[in-house]
Structure formats: C-alpha cells, structure tokens
Amino acid sequence: MFSSKSEVVKVPPGSFCIQVPEVKEPLTDDKFIGPLGFFIRFTGLDCSIVALSKVDSRFKFRAWVTQIFAVIVMAIIVLRCYTFFQLHGDAMSFQWAESGMFAFLGVQSVECAYCIFRIHHLLFLIVGIVRMINPNIDTLEQEMSHSSRIEMPEVKVPMTEEFLLGPFRKIIKVTGLDCSLIALSQHNPHLRIKAIITRVVAIAVMVVIFFRCGMLFKAEGPTLSLTWAESNMFAFMGIQSIVCTFCLFGWTKNEFVPLHLTRLNKVRSLRIKENTVVDDYSNIHRKAFIWSGFWFAAILSHAIASAAAQKVVISGQIVIAPLYITMPFITLLACFIVTLCLIYYFLVNASLSREIEYFNTELEEAKQEKRLHDSSTLLEFCHRQAELVRLVEKANESLASYATTAPMFCFNSCINAVFIASGFSSSLPTVIFAILLFNLFAVIAITFFTLRPASNVQFYVSDTARILMDSEEFECSQDSDVFKGYQVMINRSLKHNIKIRVLGGIPIYPAAMNFAMFIFPNLGNLLALVRKILVNQGIQI
C-alpha cells in the first residue's frame, strides 16, 4: 500500500535532505472514519461543509445553514439535559438518584455534540496529517525484529497453547465463546459461515449473562438489609462474569494467546540454558482444577438453594417457575466463563512471571560468578531485559481488559459478603449461613487471584534492580559501557510504565495489593457496625 523507500539527495556540504516519496494510495476520510461518516449525518452535526467553505466561497451559504442547524441540535440536547436536572426529588431519594444519573449523562451528550461539531471543522486537516504517515511495521515478525539489533536464535522446544493452557484450551468450547474461528476466517474464506455462526452464539451467550446479572440486581431489598447485601454480592459477581465474557470473546477472536506465545518463544530463545521446570505448567493446571471445583461448589450451592426456595437469591422474593428453574443453569454457564477467563489470565501472567524470575536467576548466577563486568555479557542481559519489558507491555494490553475493571467488582462483592457474615450470623439458619460463608471464601479467592498474578509480574520486574544494586562489580569498573548498561537496566527495572492500573489509575503491585486486601474486606465490618448502631437507635431496616 505504501512505499517505504527513501532517497538521500546530496546538497551543499554541511547539510542534507531526505526526499520523501509520494503515497500511492492516500488515506481518505472514508477509509479513516469508515461507516461512521454516513451515520454522523443523521445527527445534524456534520459540519464538514464549513471546512469546505473556507476554500470555496460557493459553499458559504450552505455552511451557514449547516451551522444554524447544528446550533439548534445542540440547543435541544442542552434542553434535554436541563429538563433532567429539573426533575430532582428529595435528597437521597430514588427520583433524586435517577434524575442525577440521567442528567449527568445528558451533560456528556452535550459535550459529545459540541465535540462532533468542532471536530468536523478540522476533519480535512486531520486526514491530511494522517496521509503523511508512512507506517513501516505491519506484522508481528517485523515488530519483533525491529525491536532489536541482536539476532535471536530459534528456541528448541517452542511453547504451544497445549503446553500453556493444557486441557482448558478445549474446555473453553463449552462456554460458546471460543471465537478463534473468526481469526482463522480472515485467512480462509471457507470458514466465514462458521465464523458468523460462532459470533452469533457468542452474542447469545453475552445476552444470557446480561440477563442473569439484571435478575440479580432486581432482587435487592431495603438498604442494609440481608436481601440488599446478598443481591449486591452476587450482582457484582454477575458484572464480573460479563467482563469475563467480553474478555474470552476478545482474547480468542484476536488470537491473544498464540501471539503472546510467539513473543514468549523469542524471549525464551535468549536464555543462557534451557530449563524444563520453568516451561512445565502441569502443576498449575492441577491447582486450577482444584480451585475450579471449589468455585463451582460455592456458586452452584447458592444457586441451587435459591432455586429450591423458588427465588433468585436466598433472602429474596419468590419468583415465577421458569426463572428460578433456569437460573442455576445460567449460573453454571457463568461459572465456566469466570473460571476459564481467570485461568487464562493467571496462566499468561504466570508465563511472564516465570520468564522474568528465570532471567533474574541467571542474572544472579552471573553476579555470583563475577561475569557482569564483561560488557558483552551485560549487553546480552540488557537486551534480554528489554525484550522482557516489551513482552509484558504487549501482554498487558490484552490482560488489562480484565484487570482494569474486575477488581472493583470483586471488592464490591467482598464488602457485601463480609457484611453478611458479620451482620447476620445470628439471624440465619446454619445451612444458609454456611452457604453464604462458603461464597465469602470464594469471593476472597477470586479477588486474590485477580490481583496476585499481575502483582507477581511487577515484583519480579523490580527485583532485577535489587540484584544489580547488590553487585559490587560495577563500583570499580573502568568500562563506561558496562556502567551505562548497569544504569539502563536499573532504570528500566524501576522506572518502567508496564503496570496494569485498576480503572486506569491505581497500579497493581505488591504493596497496593496487600493494602487493598486489608482495607476493602474490612469495609464490610464497618457496614455491619453502622447497621447495628441504626438498629439500636430504633431505625427500622
């Protein structure tokens, strides 16, 4: 599509210039925006003709009409927002909350209308700038070869999906979210029909999971009541299952694991010596099966107990037969989805942690043998560390789709679960309390397994700096290249920007994880204390 060759033209001494070739296929606004360019006309905010009128006076009248129409549309959007704000009720009432919710969404719609109006004034300028861009990296192989000047040897035994995922690579088909056919259909037209069917099935699964979450939220009772807490606990877990659904769909559709393994194998080829123990994930697979059994037992015991009581949640209201009969089966599907998503997430993070830990082990051995003062040895470690950082960065681009939002829902479920255990232990039958307590342990476990893998990766990345700073070889080194390599490795270890951040703000690393695991569950105890004070004051809950 693009020509990537440039020609250096000789000019008078002391200066030079680069002749940039013309782009054969210019990037147009239709290619850049796609079908959105057609739909945006229905908003009445397509003001691209205003940009045209600046270079062609024949369009000035139409430009004025377009701008007037756009201003009317924005006025209507502002009126809608203002109307929502006028509907506010008493503070903390349902009407107050609903009005505030849609009023602030209305403010966002006002901002969006103004942005669309302004963007189309600059549309042609933006496209013109984009046309000047000449990308030179299109494939994964080019990306990896471009990232290094050192030739990488081939790994003897490549890591495959079967080695990394084990039996879970086949079990995922049970969820209906294995969309790897969609990726394959891009290279094989014969698979397009199967890919369409796969996509339809995946969308149907998403709808079912959304339905389950909605039913759990609908079961809530009065604030700080048992029904309220139980509904919130399982509803937020239901939101997490929605996140897991989208993650499995996206990871399989975009071939996340195969691409990750391609990068991982390139980094594995840089090892000083092979280590089969590091590449053996069978022990994790066995532990994953044990954890899965615990998770299934906890969630399904609650679903079955609720269905036996003809309810969606144990303390809720009786519902129609089709609903309470169907819910355990939908819950079973949700258990498969959450379990497999978390196992995929855990195994990919484990592959990162193991590779970085093994790098640190070999670096420690080199330090003990006093080989780091050799510039070629240090350069190899420096290059390998850079590849590891790139590997983590690329993996986190996909893993973040789960880890940026899931902890928030896990902690909300955990708070409500602790609230139930602390505030209602004496008022619940033994069997029911045991089931809810079982689910408390399950929620804490899933919260832990959401944060710990990403936290481990950050620990091993920063541990490289500890190994280097413990070494005394660099203090008396006369080789400036060695000292520069030493500084680069420490800076890369401590000042990197490859952390996964919850909601884009709070980074996941060991200290933050330990703090969160201490603070958030105790908020449930605080809720129980507040409830007890209110009850003692005679307030009916």
Please, which pLDDT band fits residue 145 given cuts at 50, 70 and 90? Answer: very low
Give mean pLDDT, residues 355-378: 88
**Residue 127: per-residue pLDDT:** 43
Q: Please report, for residues 262, 457, 507, the alpha-carbon distance to residue 510 in angstroms, rounded to integers and kept in the order given.
A: 28, 9, 10
C-alpha count within 13 angstroms, C-beta hemisphere, residue 426: 3
Poorest-pLDDT segment among 8-12, 87-91, 240-244, 342-346:
8-12
pLDDT score, position 372: 80
Greatest mean pLDDT among 141-145, 186-190, 418-422, 480-484 lies in 418-422
Q: Which helix (H) or strand (E) holds 8?
A: strand 7-10
Q: Give the integer Cα–Cα distance in Å for 176 and 198.
A: 8
Q: In whole angstroms, give the CA distance from residue 317 to residue 337.
A: 27
- Calculate mean pLDDT across residues 397-405: 92
Q: Degrees (nearest 5) of the Cα angle 377, 378, 381? A: 95
> What was the pLDDT predicted at 73?
83
Q: Which two tokens stand for residue 51?
A: 């940009």
Q: Which residue did the predictor score with more confidence, 48 or 184? A: 184
Token digits of residue 400 = 């973040």
Query: How many Å apart are CA 252 and CA 170, to the nearest integer?
Result: 12
pLDDT score of 119: 66
Question: Is 435 within 8 Å of 315 (Cβ atoms)?
Answer: no
Q: How far is CA 267 from CA 66, 258, 277, 345, 488, in A?
A: 56, 14, 16, 20, 19
pLDDT of residue 144: 42
CA–CA separation, 201 and 338 (whole Å): 18
CA–CA distances in Å: residue 48 to residues 30, 43, 44, 112, 117 = 13, 13, 11, 16, 9
Give pLDDT tens digits for 429-451.
889 999 999 999 999 999 999 99
The pLDDT mean for the chain works out to 82
The per-residue pLDDT for 399 is 93
CA distance 64 to 18: 43
Over residues 279-299, the mean pLDDT reads: 92
Range among 44-48, 101-105, 240-244 with highest mean pLDDT value: 240-244
pLDDT at 377 over 90: no
Whether residue 417 contacts residue 437, with contact meaning beta carbons closer than 8 Å, is answered with no
Of 39-43, 140-144, 189-193, 291-295, the poorest mean pLDDT is in 140-144
Res. 24 pLDDT band, cuts 50 70 90: low
What is the pLDDT, as a whole number, of residue 11?
45
pLDDT in tens, 272-285: 888 888 889 999 99
d(CA 211, CA 188): 35
| pLDDT tens profile 317-361 | 899 999 999 999 999 999 999 999 999 999 999 999 999 999 999
Sign of CA dihedral 191, 196, 197, 203: positive
Top pLDDT among 105 and 121 is at: 105
Give yes or no for a contact between 359 and 384, defined as CB atoms under 8 angstroms apart: yes
pLDDT at 156: 61
**What average pLDDT does this structure show over 62-67?**
79
Q: Which residues contact 410 (CB under 8 A, 6 or more apart)?
A: 236, 240, 443, 446, 447, 450
Mean pLDDT to the nearest integer, 514-521 = 88
Q: Regarding beta strands 7-10 and 506-507, do their DSSP bridges make them parallel or antiparallel, or are they unpaired? A: unpaired
Check whether 88 has a pLDDT greater than 90: no
Q: Contact, 490 vs 469, CB < 8 A?
A: yes
pLDDT of residue 83: 81
Q: State percent of the chain over pLDDT 70.
A: 83
Residue 423 is predicted with a pLDDT of 85
Beta-carbon-side half-sphere exposure of residue 73 (alpha carbons within 13 Å): 22
CA distances from 24 to 123, 130, 136, 459 (A): 21, 14, 14, 48
- Is-contact 129 32, C-beta < 8 A? no
DSSP string, 16-48: EEEEPPPPSSPPPHHHHHTTHHHHGGGGT---H
| Cβ–Cβ under 8 Å, residues 501 and 508 | yes
Distance between first and last Cα of the chain = 68
Contact assessment for residue 381 and residue 360, using Cβ atoms and an 8 Å cutoff? no
Q: 3-class secondary structure for 340-363?
A: HHHHHHHHHHHHHHHHHHHHHHHH
Q: How many percent of the chain have pLDDT more than 90?
A: 41
The dihedral through the CA atoms of 533, 536, 539, 541 has a sign that is: positive
The pLDDT score that the predictor gives to residue 241 is 95
Question: In 3D, which of 403, 444, 399 has the Cα closest to residue 294?
Answer: 444
The band of 27, judged by pLDDT with boundaries at 50, 70 and 90, is low
Question: What is the DSSP-derived secondary structure letter of residue 173?
Answer: G
Mean pLDDT over 201-229 rounds to: 90
More confident residue, 236 or 38: 236
What local confidence, expressed as pLDDT, does residue 247 receive? 94
Q: How does residue 251 score in pLDDT terms, banded at 50, 70 and 90? A: very high
State yes or no: pLDDT of 130 exceeds 70: no
Q: CB-based burial of residue 379 (10 Å sphere; 0-12 exposed, 13-18 middle, 19+ buried)?
A: middle
Single-letter residue type at 251: W
Domain coordinates in residue numbering, the chain = 28-131, 140-536
* pLDDT score at 19: 52
Q: Which residue has the higher pLDDT, 511 or 123?
A: 511
What is the rounded distance in angstroms from the CA atom of residue 526 to the CA atom of residue 540?
19
Please name the helix (run of DSSP H) or strand (run of DSSP E) that holds residue 417, with its range, or none.
helix 406-423
